A = this chain, B = another copy of it.
């Protein structure tokens, strides 16, 4: 029997659910409403519109075949009725109606539904500090806001910008401003690293260094206390704990919160942090009401706990699941591991699952292992560095997550996608070691970096190697005058000449190939031996040699000098 489906929200999930449902039940009717005038746009493309890479905002609203996804498009091609600039005021679950208000006219209307879909998305968190209402302070939310920012920078009136928040959107906007418009850009982040929560500190430092080399200034561990106006009601300065920063433009990107007030007021289950609760079929606590996208909470497939993951890729897939289930199907969306990727100038970052910190916070006895190496057969001319940090559980060897950085971004995303695909299926370090990866010199190394990071982690879990991270090395190095650390560089002598000359008391060199014959040069008493080489491969060999020779207090630096230099540690 034909149904009437009402969908609230028409950006990503709403349109997808509508189209899927109508293909399955062409005789049913769909009404989709949205507060905004512009709908069905690629919200993740906003930084590329601000940068100018995307010439016109309407491009974000187009299909791959250049048709604009407006009301008319949905009516003609999908047989879906769309009402824009229309707000949903309330849901009457008993009567199965929604009350709508057309914003330009104020006209209200009550619409009956057989099934309802909540796709209201999220709202950027605001900074509640003095001056927050000044002009020139923007959140990145919706096409209209993006158009305002773009108009400002392309008009030439912005020479200094402050971005508050070093998450995905903050960093993408910082790149857009600094790279394409030459704006002096400062990023203020109250936590002590960029990409907090999604990447470990060592990788974050490497990414930060790259962005600094491109001209972006970071102020980490600093909080914004106030905005100050200059000329009239325009922002002119950002006041933090430590500094006052001049700014013609401020972008606040400190996160989003789910739009769930409508659901809560209708008596649907909503979590403490505000996400609408849904089951595996994306039904809310009312079986006639579905919800998905940025307004819901889903299950994190590693921790098993509820998580809030506002990601466009999830919204699209959830839309199809809801479309199927509206038509009587039983499609499932069981949760997510939280895969992501972001381009930061010439470097790409990507990850999936838990970081080491998140894994520990979730109660796992976790460790992480860092590998840095050239991604490609090393003899192939076109190659670049890739660093992967694998997070695994001691004892079980279960993989909990992986994060990485690379020059070859697509290749990195490929590795992350492989791990993400296996994560919910009980991936172990051993499986990763043996994983079959396509190989040819222009694409990868004969022993793929995923196999390498699996092998390296397996060796550490089995006690055949003991690694320290770059930040631990940095701490040892900073305290080198007092801690009796013996740094042993296992590279060939030619690679070590400068370091030996600069730090004769602390830096030592025995090439790995000579180590077995020169063991008596290494002090045995009360000395920690720290092995380092180029990437960690030779220092692992050296570790095996020293362990076999009875040395007890030995560690090797994961990722080697490659990782040390990428993180910008001064030697």
Chain B proximity mask over A414-452: 1 for CB below 8 Å, otherwise 0: 111110111001000000011111111111101110010
- Cα A180 to Cα B438 in complex, Å, equals 25
Residue of A333, A337, A339, A441 contacting most chain B CB atoms (<10 Å) = A441
Asked if residues B409 and A437 are in contact (CB atoms below 8 Å), the reply is no
Asked if residues A421 and B438 are in contact (CB atoms below 8 Å), the reply is no
A48 contacts chain B at the CB level, 8 A cutoff: yes
Surface stretch bound by B, among A58-66, A121-129, A157-165: A58-66
- Cα A312 to Cα B339 in complex, Å, equals 30
Identical copies in the complex: 2
Tell me, rounded to whole Å, the shortest Cβ–Cβ distance linking A299 to chain B. 12
Partner of A443, one of B341, B380, B440: B341
Asked if residues A311 and B439 are in contact (CB atoms below 8 Å), the reply is yes
Partner of A438, one of B313, B377, B455, B534: B313
- Cα A53 to Cα B380 in complex, Å, equals 7
A552 contacts chain B at the CB level, 8 A cutoff: no
A381 contacts chain B at the CB level, 8 A cutoff: yes
Surface stretch bound by B, among A264-272, A360-368, A537-545: A537-545
Size bin of chain A's contact surface: 35 or more
A76 contacts chain B at the CB level, 8 A cutoff: yes
A320 contacts chain B at the CB level, 8 A cutoff: yes
A426: nearest residue on chain B (CB-CB)?
B425
Asked if residues A438 and B339 are in contact (CB atoms below 8 Å), the reply is yes
- Cα A343 to Cα B438 in complex, Å, equals 12
Asked if residues A321 and B434 are in contact (CB atoms below 8 Å), the reply is yes
- Cα A42 to Cα B380 in complex, Å, equals 11
Surface stretch bound by B, among A131-139, A223-231, A476-484, A512-520: A512-520
Partner of A379, one of B45, B422, B464, B512: B45
Q: Which of A352-386 contact B (CB under 8 A)?
A: 352, 373-374, 377-381
Q: Sample 28 A-B pairs with CB under 8 A, ordered by A number.
A: A26-B548, A27-B548, A42-B441, A44-B440, A48-B379, A48-B380, A48-B442, A53-B380, A54-B381, A64-B378, A64-B535, A65-B535, A77-B512, A77-B538, A78-B541, A314-B436, A317-B447, A321-B434, A331-B434, A340-B440, A341-B443, A348-B443, A352-B436, A408-B410, A413-B443, A414-B415, A417-B437, A417-B438
Interface set of A (CB-CB < 8 Å, partner B): 12, 16, 23-24, 26-27, 42, 44-45, 48, 53-54, 59-60, 62-65, 67, 73, 76-79, 168, 311-314, 316-317, 320-321, 331-333, 336-337, 339-343, 348, 350-352, 373-374, 377-381, 408-411, 413-418, 420-422, 425, 433-444, 446-448, 451, 455, 464, 491-492, 495, 512-514, 516, 533-535, 537-538, 541, 544-545, 548
